[in-house]
Amino acid sequence: MNTLLANIRSALLSLFEAVSRFPLTVVSLIGATILLCYMISLHKPPDLIIQKLAYTFLLGSFLGITAQFACERFDKLHKKRALVYLISTLLIVGYYLILMPAQGISNEVVVRTFVAVAAMFCAFIWVPSFKSQADFNEIALVHFKSALISILYSAVLTAGWSSIIAAVDTLLFSVNQDIYAYSMVIIWVLFATLYYLSLLPRFNSEKAEDQEFACYSAQYPRFLEILISYIAIPLVAIFTLVLAAYFIKILVTLKWPSGQLGGMVLAYSASGLIIYILASLSNNRFAVLYRLIFPRVLIPVVIMQLISVGIRLNAYGITESRYYITLFGVFSLLCGIMLSFMPVSKNGRIALLAAGFAILSVVPPVDAFSLSRHSQITRLENMLQAEGILHEGKITPKADVSMNLRLETTNILNYLEAHDYDHYLTWLPQDFNAHKDMKSVFGFEPAYPGMDRGFRYFYAALDAQQPVDISGFDIMVRANSHNRETEQTAEIDFTVQGEPYKFLLQRLSNKEVRVAVQNAAGEELISTGLYDFAQTIAEFGNESKHTLPPENMSLEVENNGYKLRVLLENININEDDSVYAGVDYGLMLMFGVPGDDA
């Protein structure tokens, strides 16, 4: 009992020490926790200012850790800790002020924030080892062990607390279901991070107790040696053989991959480098061989991946994903070369190099977004100029163009529109919409992959600005049917004039849906299929319509005085060879009983 109390007391003291050691991070975590709980309570998308504050607190939590480790490493900064924290706070405020004018949390904001967070993570792992006796590999090991322990404790706490809430809800009184989400936020955002920080020693402290704790934390546990040497390393070796076999296949067939290699090699390189660092403190045969072989194997693997990415860059230009895959490929190649010649004691250069590349990727004009935007706009303008559609900043519509030009133009315009880059196209009309305006502006309809192989795509939505005549019907309900719900039947109960009825939506195939109405005895009163009607709507072939009036989107049938109307709110027809082929229906179902003149 005394031992248990002592352990609890020690853990609490460590948590309180972490609060005083990382004050800026703790304030940011508390702010993020409060915001996330508030967002849960809304039960709707939060206001933009709340989202901006959440991203600000995320950045602040990592900046606080980096600032503290910098203070601990450098005596001059330690003596001016208050000034360091003041500058860090101003940087956080500056980040929020940068976000303030933004009209939304765009993909660019998300990526830049997470890349900055990744750079700071690499920095605070590397800083304690800079020109000090602290070993980078031991520091990385401590962070890895601390994260694992924190995740394990948080998972146990999650399971236990959820069970307690469920027991109270079942046995005593009803519990607001939001309490589960609140608990997860408090445990995983606040407690897990704080406990992780409490396990980190003061790597650069000269106090005997701090050095003793640092040595204890850096011990290489037996379970980790088994995990790394006998599980992770063999898995990497097998994956290496798979990649080698694939590269031999490429050399034999002379057919380069069409995009699937980049992500796999990225994951292979990242996991391989992490395992390399964790294996640097082990002296068993597997770890020694891995440290000897992996860097040399990584080099040709990454070169092949860079060649593959280069082919796609030449064909389709730069996008953010290709930029980061290429950047990580260059990073992995440099790591492979460095690790092939330098001792494991210099592994800290990996983290420093990673932080440098991360910062490079968000600094204009060589950042991912500037280069991607310029690349795609240049590609589009060159293609349109070659076809005579764009000349001296003016567009001349042209209907007779190749399918490839239609595909590429549609793809690039959708990309630019999705990233809010379309305002850089000064030769486009204001409020241009790629889905609606391509025919009138360029002279041809948008095109999508598969059309050149005889596939068809069609989409239409109900014009919500036009009134819908509901006379003669007693009830209207909304329903949806998706093409991957094959052989499923949805039932919707309702009453008319005190009599119970039931709508049945039966998925007969990925295209056909049968709508029926049954009475209380289960007798079918009226029914209809939808696919034939869908085909009549899609008579325009590949040319999707933005909106259609209610009369074009309505199917009405009558039987023995019963009336059924199916009003399509939207319809999406996909007739290609993928798993998504089929028809999706968004419906409004109306039903009227005999003798009713509503």
pLDDT at 339: 94
DSSP state of 1: -
pLDDT at 453: 56
pLDDT at 1 over 70: no
Task: Specify the pairing of strand 489-496 against strand 582-592.
Answer: unpaired
Residues 130, 563: Cα–Cα separation, whole Å: 79
What is the dihedral angle through the alpha carbons of 579, 583, 588, 589, rounded to the nearest 10 degrees?
A: -100
The answer to whether the CB of 151 falls within 8 A of the CB of 221 is no
pLDDT at 33: 97
Q: Establish whether the linkage from the previous residue to 549 is cis, with ω within 30° of 0.
A: no
DSSP state of 484: T
Reported as type and span, the H/E element at residue 55 is helix 48-73
128: which 2 tokens?
């304690």
Compute the C-alpha angle 361/365/366, nearest 5°: 35
Give 140-157 pLDDT, tens digit per residue: 999 999 999 999 999 999
* Nearest C-alpha neighbor of 387 from the set 402, 377, 407, 408: 402
Q: Strand pairing partners for 575?
A: 456
Write down the domain spans for the chain: 15-217, 222-363, 369-447, 458-592
pLDDT at 242 over 70: yes
SS3 content of the chain, % helix, strand, coil (to 5): 60, 15, 25
pLDDT at 541: 44
Sign of CA dihedral 582, 587, 592, 593: positive
Give 312-352 pLDDT, tens digit per residue: 899 889 999 999 999 999 999 999 999 999 999 899 999 99
The span from the first CA to the last CA of the chain, in angstroms, equals 77
Instruction: Please state the three-class secondary structure of 109-171 as a single string.
Output: HHHHHHHHHHHHHHHHHHHHHCCCCCCHHHHHHHHHHHHHHHHHHHHHHHHHHHHHHHHHHHH
DSSP state of 236: H
Give 275-287 pLDDT, tens digit per residue: 999 999 988 899 9
pLDDT at 444: 85
Residues 9, 273: Cα–Cα separation, whole Å: 38
Q: Looking at residues 104-125, what average pLDDT do you find?
A: 91
pLDDT at 542: 46
Residues 158, 314: Cα–Cα separation, whole Å: 49
Give 208-222 pLDDT, tens digit per residue: 998 898 898 889 999
Give 449-487 pLDDT, tens digit per residue: 666 555 567 888 888 888 888 888 999 999 888 877 766
pLDDT at 437: 82
CB atoms within 10 A of CB 575: 15
Q: Establish whether the linkage from the previous residue to 449 is cis, with ω within 30° of 0.
A: no
> Rounded to two decimals, what is the model's pTM?
0.76
* Mean pLDDT for the chain overall: 89
pLDDT at 544: 56
The contacts of residue 136 (CB under 8 Å, 6+ apart) are: 125, 126, 129, 277, 345, 347, 348, 351
pLDDT at 11: 75
Q: Looking at residues 515-542, what average pLDDT do you find?
A: 83
- Highest-scoring range by mean pLDDT, 228-237, 389-398, 411-420: 228-237
Give 412-434 pLDDT, tens digit per residue: 998 998 888 888 998 998 888 87
Residues 144, 489: Cα–Cα separation, whole Å: 49
The answer to whether the CB of 200 falls within 8 A of the CB of 145 is no
Phi, psi (degrees; rounded to nearest 5) at 259: 110, -15
pLDDT at 536: 84
Q: Strand pairing partners for 461?
A: 570
Under the banding of pLDDT at 50, 70 and 90, the label for residue 597 is: low
Give 182-201 pLDDT, tens digit per residue: 999 999 999 999 999 999 99
* Nearest C-alpha neighbor of 324 from the set 270, 361, 375: 361
What whole-number percentage of the chain has pLDDT above 70? Answer: 94
pLDDT at 535: 83
